[in-house]
C-alpha cells in the first residue's frame, strides 16, 4: 500500500496493518468455531470499532448481523472524563440473541462496563466482548474480555479506527503520534 500522507505526524508504528489483519483473521476463526450453529449479532461501538468490525465480520463464517451503539466517555482530548452517555442506541431487540460487542480499545473499561450493564438488562442469550486493543495498566473496572487482539502500553494510540480529535482513523497501522501533534490542539 502507498504510504499514508498522515505518516509525518506519526512517532512510531506499534502494530502494523499486516499484524492486525493476521490477528483479526485468527479472532474470526475462533469466533466462528465458538458460535458454530448460532446466529450472531455483532454490536459495534461507534465510531472507533467500525473498521475492526468490518474486517472481523468478513472473517466470521456464520449467519451474522450488525448493529451499532454510540457511547461517549471522552471529549476530544486523550483522557477519560468519567461521563458516560448513550448517544445512539441499538436498532435491534437483543432479547434471546447471541451478542458480541466489538470495541476498538479498552482503556479504563468504564465505557464498556456501562454498556454491558445496559445490554445485559435486555436479556440476550449470551453477551461477550471482542476488543482489538487493551491498555491493562489503565483499567479501573474488572472486565472479562473473551476475544482480545493486542495489549498496548499506556500511550495514546491512533489508526485502524482510533482517532485523535476525530482524525487519523484511516491510518492502516496502530500508531503513536508525535508530541507536537497534541501540543498544537
Residues within the interface to ligand IMP (CB under 6 A): 45, 48, 73-74, 80, 103-112, 156-158, 162
How many residues make contact with Mg ion (CB under 5 A)? Answer: 1
Nearer to ligand IMP, 64 or 101 (CB): 101
What contacts 63, CB < 8 A, 6 or more positions away?
A: 39, 40
Q: Strands, DSSP E only, in 57-142?
A: 64-72, 85-88, 98-106, 126-134
Report, in Å, the least distance between residue 4 CB and ligand IMP. 17
From 9, 104, 107, 173, active-site residue:
107
> Contact between 48 and Mg ion (CB under 5 A)?
yes
Our answer to whether residue 104 is catalytic in this structure is: no
Q: In this chain, which residue has its C-beta nearest to Mg ion?
A: 48
Report, in Å, the least distance between residue 61 CB and ligand IMP. 27
Q: Which does 150 bind (CB under 5 to 8 A by kind): Mg ion, ligand IMP, none?
A: none
Nearer to ligand IMP, 104 or 128 (CB): 104
The C-alpha atoms of residue 31 and residue 28 are separated, in whole angstroms, by 5
Nearer to ligand IMP, 57 or 158 (CB): 158
Helix (H) or strand (E) segment spanning residue 3:
none
Handedness of CA 114, 127, 42, 150 (dihedral sign): positive
The C-alpha cell that represents 125 in the structure block: 442469550
The C-alpha atoms of residue 42 and residue 53 are separated, in whole angstroms, by 8
Q: In what order do the strands lie in the sheet with 174-177?
A: 10-15, 174-177, 157-158
Q: Which does 129 bind (CB under 5 to 8 A by kind): ligand IMP, Mg ion, none?
A: none
Catalytic residue numbers, as ranges: 107
Residues in the site for Mg ion, rule: CB under 5 A?
Answer: 48
Amino acid at each position: 500500500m502507498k504510504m499514508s500522507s498522515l505518516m509525518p505526524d506519526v512517532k512510531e508504528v506499534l502494530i502494523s496493518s499486516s499484524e492486525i489483519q493476521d490477528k483479526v483473521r485468527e479472532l474470526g476463526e475462533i469466533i466462528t468455531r465458538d458460535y458454530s450453529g448460532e446466529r450472531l449479532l455483532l454490536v459495534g461501538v461507534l465510531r472507533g470499532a467500525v473498521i475492526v468490525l468490518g474486517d472481523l465480520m468478513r472473517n466470521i463464517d456464520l449467519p451474522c448481523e450488525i448493529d451499532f451503539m454510540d457511547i461517549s466517555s471522552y471529549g476530544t482530548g486523550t483522557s477519560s472524563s468519567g461521563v458516560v452517555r448513550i448517544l445512539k442506541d441499538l436498532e435491534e431487540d437483543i432479547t434471546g440473541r447471541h451478542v458480541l460487542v466489538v470495541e476498538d480499545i479498552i482503556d479504563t473499561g468504564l465505557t464498556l462496563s456501562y454498556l454491558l450493564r445496559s445490554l445485559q438488562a435486555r436479556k440476550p442469550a449470551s453477551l461477550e466482548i471482542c476488543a482489538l486493543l487493551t491498555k491493562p495498566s489503565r483499567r479501573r473496572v474488572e472486565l472479562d474480555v473473551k476475544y482480545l487482539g493486542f495489549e498496548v502500553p499506556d500511550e495514546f494510540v491512533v489508526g485502524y479506527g482510533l482517532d485523535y480529535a476525530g482524525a487519523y482513523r484511516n491510518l492502516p497501522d496502530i500508531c503513536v503520534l508525535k508530541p507536537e501533534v497534541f501540543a498544537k490542539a
